[in-house]
Amino acid sequence: MLGRLNHVAIAVPDLGAAAAVYRDTLAAGVSPPQPLPAHGVTVVFVDLGNAKVELLEPLGEDSPIAAFLARNPAGGMHHICYEVDDILAARDRLLAQGARVLGDGEPKIGAHGKPVLFLHPKDFCGTLIELEQV
């Protein structure tokens, strides 16, 4: 079911400062900020060639990462995104196995313009998983 690693996401309190660490200190290519109001975050991507790092900060009052940052004020690893070729088939297989799909279970369009879903961290080794259909 799982394809390539698409991105590892790091939640941060200050996206500008985090982007500067990757751009200047780590001399990496960093995309411009991309507000995603439907997801309650603003993101940038660090392109590594074989995968990406997503840096994300809260956007708006009800950001789903606000509680994470309250627990981790300096930021931290937030989720890992795997590619799948059929997100509905993947969802249905996971639900049939008793896994929890977050939200209403319907894929939403993510930062790359592709359908994404999130799986509950408690079902997957304490790690929040994002699936992205490619």
Computed on alpha carbons and rounded to an integer, the radius of gyration of the chain in Å comes to 15
Task: Return residues touching ligand LZKTLF4L (CB under 6 A).
Answer: 9, 36, 39, 41, 43, 54, 56, 64-65, 67-68, 78-79, 81, 102, 110-111, 116, 118, 121-122, 126-128, 130
Q: In the bound complex, what is the minimum distance in angstroms from residue 108's beta carbon to ligand LZKTLF4L?
A: 7
Q: In the bound complex, what is the minimum distance in angstroms from residue 81's beta carbon to Co ion?
A: 5
Which of 54, 57, 83, 130 is catalytic? The answer is 130
Helix H segments across the chain?
A: 15-20, 66-71, 87-96
CB 110 within 8 A of CB 63: no
Distance of alpha carbon 93 from the chain centroid? 21
Residue 82, amino acid: Y
Tell me if residue 132 is catalytic: no
Binder of residue 102, out of Co ion, ligand LZKTLF4L, none (CB less than 5 to 8 A by kind): ligand LZKTLF4L
Give which of 101, 51, 71 is closest to 11, Cα–Cα: 71
Residues within the interface to Co ion (CB under 5 A):
9, 54, 81, 130
The residues carrying an active-site annotation are 130
